[in-house]
């Protein structure tokens, strides 16, 4: 057998191997489930990294941009959300995707104002940059650190034992998760029997004319504000698009019920710009 023939034979095997590997790679990529990242379709494995990058980029300007985008109304939404939760003595709250501390700080103010005893809030967020913002704010506010703790964690796989908390909140965070059903399942798991789940999230307006005007503001103004205030256009373009991809009020209510929660209801605020969903683990 000549050397030239042997080289040709080896080359042919290598070529066949590379083609098979390429085909396998293509099949694996095509078989991977897709999800949305705003209006972009991406592999599920990509979304978490992309969302992580968005919030890493906007963390330091997050609160300033919230004020600018909502004209400060987000503060009233969060105040009302906390009042509707109505924490009392012995409330053990888990605030998910709450890195900057907006809900946690309202919780602490409420329980201290009414002198409720034995209360604690655990803030968890998948993004350490957001948690760092919250920790720094908490320190500057000179809060009682025995009443609050911070834990990096994924809403789809929480680092807590079953039946740990009697209240669970997530505000403007669940739409950024890849698997909403897993988030709800985890919420159910970590809540004690009788515990309450509450979600504050952007939703769908009940009036089509109002929705049109809202869309014009969202797509034409908010990304521009992001560029002017935070030097970031794309993250705020994504945030606007992610709102449009989130399920409507009734669909989300059904998802919460499918996770096992009972007495599920929702309340629209400002014609449905945001909605508060609530349910109990019974």
* CA nearest neighbour of 77 among 252, 232, 201: 201
Binding residues for S-adenosyl-L-methionine: 100, 125, 154-155
Residue with tokens 């789940």: 197
Give every CB contact of residue 181 below 8 A, 6+ residues apart in sequence. 255, 258, 259
Binding residues: 100, 125, 154-155
The separation between CA 140 and the C-alpha centre of its own chain, rounded to angstroms, equals 25
* CA nearest neighbour of 187 among 210, 147, 154: 154
The separation between CA 110 and the C-alpha centre of its own chain, rounded to angstroms, equals 24
Alpha helices in 141-191 (DSSP H): 180-190
Residue with tokens 């964690």: 153
Q: Is 191 helix (H, G, I), strand (E, B) or coil?
A: strand
Q: How many CB atoms lie within 10 A of CB 253?
A: 19
């Amino acid at each position: 057998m000549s050397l030239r023939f042997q080289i040709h034979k080896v080359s042919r095997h290598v070529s066949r191997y590379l083609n098979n590997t390429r085909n396998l790679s293509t099949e694996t990529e095509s078989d991977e489930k897709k999800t949305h990242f705003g209006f972009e379709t991406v592999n599920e494995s990509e979304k978490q990294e992309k969302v992580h990058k968005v919030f890493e980029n906007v963390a330091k300007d997050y609160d300033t941009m919230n004020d600018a985008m909502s004209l400060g109304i987000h503060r009233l939404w969060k105040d009302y959300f906390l009042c509707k939760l109505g924490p009392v003595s012995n409330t053990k709250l888990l605030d998910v995707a709450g890195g900057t501390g907006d809900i946690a700080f309202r919780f602490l103010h409420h329980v201290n104002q009414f002198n409720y005893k034995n209360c604690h809030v655990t803030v968890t967020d998948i993004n350490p940059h957001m948690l760092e913002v919250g920790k720094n704010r908490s320190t500057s506010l000179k809060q009682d650190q025995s009443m609050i703790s911070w834990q990096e964690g994924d809403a789809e796989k929480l680092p807590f034992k079953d039946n740990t908390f009697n209240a669970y909140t997530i505000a403007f965070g669940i739409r950024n998760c890849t698997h909403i059903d897993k988030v709800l399942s985890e919420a159910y798991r970590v809540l004690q029997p009788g515990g309450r789940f509450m979600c504050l999230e952007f939703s769908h307006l009940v009036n089509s004319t109002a929705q049109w005007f809202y869309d014009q503001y969202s797509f034409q103004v908010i990304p521009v504000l992001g560029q002017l205030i935070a030097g970031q256009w794309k993250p705020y373009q994504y945030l606007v698009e992610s709102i449009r991809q989130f399920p409507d009020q009734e669909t989300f209510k059904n998802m919460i019920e499918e996770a096992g929660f009972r007495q599920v209801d929702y309340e629209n605020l400002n014609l449905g710009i945001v909605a508060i969903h609530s349910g109990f683990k019974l």
